[in-house]
Structure 1
Amino acid sequence: MKNLIELGQAAKQVERLLAQASTQDKNNVLLEMAESLLQDKQTILDANTKDTDTAKEAGITETLLDRLTLSEERIESMANGLKDMVQLPDPIGLVDSMWTNEAGLKIGKQTVPLGVVGIIYEARPNVTSDAAGLCFKSGNAVILRGGKEAFHSNLAIVNSLRRALKKCDMPEAAIQLVEDTSRESSHEMMRLNRYIDVLIPRGGAGLIQAVVENATVPIIETGTGNCHVYIDKTADREMAKDIIVNAKTSRPSVCNAVETLLVHESMAESILPLIEKELTAWDVELRADEKASQFLEKAVPATELDWETEYLDYILAVKVVSSLDEAISHINQYSTGHSESIVTNDYQSSQRFHKEVDSAAVYVNASTRYTDGFEFGFGAEIGISTQKLHARGPMGLEELTSSKYIIFGNGQIR
């Protein structure tokens, strides 16, 4: 088992080669990676069973178990994700503008890889394939550090991807896995400035906070999603009900699931019983403020903590508000800057919501579950950035690049 210094050194050694790889060569490797995953399907499933069996013994929740579990369909989806990346334009080497300054120098801005990308993530083994593929297509070497819950799954996936690299005469060090899943290795990786150019944490609030507080490597924050849906006074009731049910129940363990429902007071009496009836079928626990509780049969009282919690579970906080202003104020106070939605038939309200809500993705009349690289047409994603520098929202190929200036002269001196 290599230590982090050795992984970093190996990544740096192949950095230049990856940056110079042709689009065709990269696409050929991605296709081979996809086939390799399919060929190794049973090996990956067997490894995943080890992880899920251990997780069940440890008492993991059903929603977190869902994040951890692989199936034939999910492995096929991972392989299709890699194939889809082949169809995406290669961002590397593009010059988006060219101009001539007063001295006669021709100046251009060219897209280049970030270099070595480190990714720390939790119990979602599909991230291993998505992240590796995106980093490779964008010319970056990647060092992956998954959680201990998914160790066997991640190792099997990385071994499969590296076998494809070797078959295509590409360096296996382009994709590496940290096999030490201790907290110490995580902290060491956060400080590997000499070898890692950018660190991307992908997981819950605890992981994100640990990286923000301890990393000396530049980071891009992703993941934490305290998402809101606000039902405005002009909302269509059936539409509002369908959006809430989808945003909460279609996959509650992911970061774009809704965690707080805000309802205009004029809609509360008619819409809340309807929503409660639908969510009861999914065993969703409602945690409501005093006003909302008047219209709900089984809700428990909400606390201040509920407004700021990313549940990742069948739990929904509910609050009645007196106006659009109050809804926007609540969202901007408690949101993690991920995804928010308004259900309304009023154009002016929709425009104010778009303008005044400060999150990476702001919807009108749609579920927050659409905040996803595939759904936005970016292919797979490295995560959802909730910060404002460099990248914001779903991070695809372009967000894994930087730029440099290329200048052409004919003897100019200053």
Structure 2
Amino acid sequence: MKTFRSAHRRLFRPHLLASLAALAVLGAGVSAAHAQNYPITPKQRATAQATAQAGIPVSDLAAGAPDEYTVKRGDTLWAISRMYLKSPWRWPELWGMNMADIKNPHLIYPGQVLYLDKTDGRARLSTRAGSGTGGTIKLSPRTRYESLAGMALPTLKPSLIEPFLTEPVVVDENTLANAPRIVAGNDNHVLLARGDRAYAIGNSESPLIETSGPIKQFRIFRNATPLVDPASGEVLGYEAQYLGRAQLQRSQTVESQMQDGKLVTSVVPATIDLIAAKEEVRAGDRLLPEPPRQLVSYTPHAPAGPMDGGRIISVYGNAVQFAAQNQVVAINKGLRDGIESGNVLAILKNGEVITDKTNGTKETLKLPNERIGLLMVFRPFEKVSYALVLEISDVPKAGDLLVNP
């Protein structure tokens, strides 16, 4: 036990700056405990160095931004930034910089005290009091006897988006149709759940065959629902319904036998076991290979170019059109449009078309579009992306407009 504690003993230095905390890492199935092992990219470092040195105009601070704030468990970087900024995604410009002190700029911990410096009309945030005064500061290191490994703040609450990093998938029209399919359950079970055994067949292009190495795992999907651009009518992809996961136990084989004096060849299905099930699985459901886990760095920022024609397509996993805060939506912009993880977009309520009768005539008018919230892209595909609704003042719905924040 003593050795374990010694290995996790860290010095907590009050002068560590929050700095590039905006680059906090969330991973698909990977907790924040691994964040400190994830490197910062040269582009991220250069951007932060260029912007954070100058800070931001004091006029860009949120009303009531505190001069001092102690980071608490349960905080997120987005929530802290919203407390300080009118535009929370701009926090790399607010955080102070000291690259010599920050061995890993992804980290900011509960217990750190944030100090807001407003010198010469510019605002900067650091964990060193009076960092903009140029005075001498006496530092008194304190020792923490608990591990900091799992304490680093995430950009957003991981529970909001972690399931969506692996569950939903956008495919083309033929991907699911050509994927291996479940043909039967063991003991004539029609509806299958976690722990059940089933049988599946792949085609000549994707047979279910065991190979050397780890056991093959698959995700199970159903119902490729078309995602249609509300403006153009273009089918941008097909959203497959995630059901669960399975692993291959035995390969499908080919068996030959004599029937009525003729040699008949038939396929013997592969054997799979269901290792996770979000919903009941049945014959006809399709298998796609389990993708490798990925670490994703979320640095909220505006898109590089103008976001013309952006719209919400649908609310994920719901038959309704309306979205609430912290819900996931599909949007009609993807990699081909320059969208990337971390892009923040403003949601505009599409103004209604009304008939004006106030002037003694009937004139058709369109009311102005109204800004009602923000969302952040966390999983882009080629033509569509999934985004998290971060904050709203009205109820977003499918068809609402998206613009640069």
Common topology (TM > 0.5) = no
Between Structure 1 and Structure 2, the one with more strand by share is 2
With a CA cutoff of 8 Å and minimum separation of 6, indicate the structure with the bigger relative contact order.
1
Between Structure 1 and Structure 2, the one with more helix by share is 1
TM-score (normalised: structure 2): 0.29
Structure showing greater radius of gyration is: 2
TM-score (normalised: structure 1): 0.28
